[in-house]
Structure formats: structure tokens, C-alpha cells
Amino acid sequence: MEPTGRIFNVQKYSIYDGDGIRTLVFLKGCNLRCQWCSNPESISGAYQVMFNADKCVQCKRCVEVCPVGIHTANGIDRSIECIGCRKCEEVCISGALKIMGQEMTVSELMETIMQDYDFYLASGGGVTLSGGEATLQADFAASLLAECKRNMINTAIETNGSTDLTNYEILAPHTDLFLFDLKHIDTVKYKELFGIGNEAVKRNLERLVELNANIAIRMPLIRGHNDSYDAITGAIEYVMDLAKRSGNGSIRRIDVLPYHQMGKAKYEMLGWDYPIIDNPGYSDQELDQLDKFFGTFDFEIRVVRN
């Protein structure tokens, strides 16, 4: 049987997640719980109902068709598990409902991916797998990326770097670029933030370097969590030392990703509280200062401003 994966979105024309114009395939399910996650619908591997109350016209058609009773006269009953039938989404006349999670085969996804083949060729772009955590569906991801490679499409994966080593070894032969998160260099602080240490992250990164994979390190920057001088310089020095020791040019650069609130509205649509109370973002002036600071290192470090 053809492998299937559970995805929750396919986004075209991205320019921030690898080289050129790219199609992003978002896989559902993640092993970490980042407070600043901009895709909260990706965290659970289960089907979920996203409900935009501002769009709802109270027609109650969803109540009539839902086979498990999630939709009620008083709203969404979050205690009931969605089975992903999508009947409510189909009858919603105002677009207030969207089911997060869809089983798709490699062939089905390739039909969508190939629609923009000319853009990939013209821009040096391709396909990036994101999430959630794409490496949790490593066999499916490898099959999809292998099919992309057979069609001469550039491939990339965004990963938090913390899953089983085997996942990265499976994916490495089919991946042109790993966008690899280094969220905190200190394992104690990492455990405070995510419940696990960062030993697996370092192990997996070092193994990918051994395999001569192309890697761009991604450092999310969240005020009060990982933006101290020691945290920033410690991470940069670790990456620079690893790049120097390997000597194979595997690590291409470091991308610093400042905090943003673009995913905040999704939490309300999932019935969740947004976990960050204050806004730990950065002003343009602060980002300019960071640019100057990163310029003092003998390594390519970019502040990515969306």
C-alpha cells in the first residue's frame, strides 16, 4: 500500500523556508510544547475543530450533521474527540469551521506539489516539510521527499531536532537542506522549557554533520527565555566549533527567528488560552542592534524578519 501521512495544511509560494519559491507541507503532531508555537493546530496528532466565532451565523447545520456530537446549540464540546469526517466543514456556509488533520498519500500530495513545478525551476525553490514535527512521520516524509527528488525538486525539512536518531538517518538521503532548530544551548534551561534536555538535539545535529547533510541552524529568539548573552553566544560558539571541527561545510549559516504573534488567533479557535501573556517581541531598533552584534562573529548569521 502507498504510504499516507497526516497533514493539516499545504501552503504555496513561501520564501522563508528554504531557497527560492517553495511549497510547504505541514505534518500534524509534535513532541514538544513551545509556548511561542505559531501553529498550535500542529501540536496534537489528532483531528481538531478550529472554530471562528466571528464568522459563525448560527445556522446550526454543523449540529445536525456531526455524528459524534461535538457541535452543540451552545458551541463546541471539546471533551469529545473529532473523527475527521469533515461533515461540519462541508455544510458550514460561512467558513467558520475547519477540521485540522487530513490523511493524504504521496501521490495525492505530489499532484498539488507539481502544480508549481515551473516556479521551483525558475527560482531554485522546491518543497519543505514542516509541522508539527515532520520527523515523527519519518517513513512517510522520506517517501514524499524521495518522489520529489525523482522529479528534480529541491527538498527541505524543518525540525526541532529532538526525535529519534533513526528518523534523521532515514531522511538524510532525500533532504537537500535541514532547517534545524537550536532553541537553547543549555540543557537545564531546555528541560525547563520543554520537559526534556537537549542531548538528543546535539546528537542528531552532529550525526547529520557526519553525514555531510546541508544544514541551516534556526535559533528562535524569545525575550526572557533564550535571549541572554550567554544563551545566544553559547549557541553560536557551539555551532561555529562544530562547523570548524567537521570542516565539510555542512552547516551553512544560522538564522535567528525573533518572536512574533502571528499564530495567536488560532489558540482561541482551538479553545485554548494563549500561553504567553506579555509580548516578548523586539522592536526594529533592537533587531538592528542584533544585526550589528551578529556581524562581529566570523560566521553567517541572519536575522529573519517576516
Residue 11 near residue 113, CB atoms below 8 Å:
no
Question: 94 among the known binding-site residues?
Answer: no
Question: 38 among the known binding-site residues?
Answer: yes
Question: 272 among the known binding-site residues?
Answer: no
Residue 37: name the closest of 264, 278, 304, 221 by CA.
Answer: 264
Question: 88 among the known binding-site residues?
Answer: no
Peptide bond into 126 cis (omega under 30): no
Question: 37 among the known binding-site residues?
Answer: yes
Question: 34 among the known binding-site residues?
Answer: yes
Residue 160: name the closest of 279, 7, 274, 39 by CA.
Answer: 39
**Bridge partner residues of 23 (DSSP):** 127
Question: 181 among the known binding-site residues?
Answer: yes
Euclidean distance between CA atoms 224 and 245, whole angstroms: 31
Question: 129 among the known binding-site residues?
Answer: no
Question: 92 among the known binding-site residues?
Answer: yes
Residue type at position 46: A
Q: Which three cell numbers stand for residue 285?
A: 531598533
Residue 218: name the closest of 177, 188, 249 by CA.
Answer: 177
Binding-site sequence positions = 30, 34, 36-38, 56, 59, 62, 92, 132, 181-183, 260
Binding-site sequence positions for [4Fe-4S] cluster = 30, 34, 37, 56, 59, 62, 92
Binding-site sequence positions for S-adenosyl-L-methionine = 36-38, 132, 181-183, 260
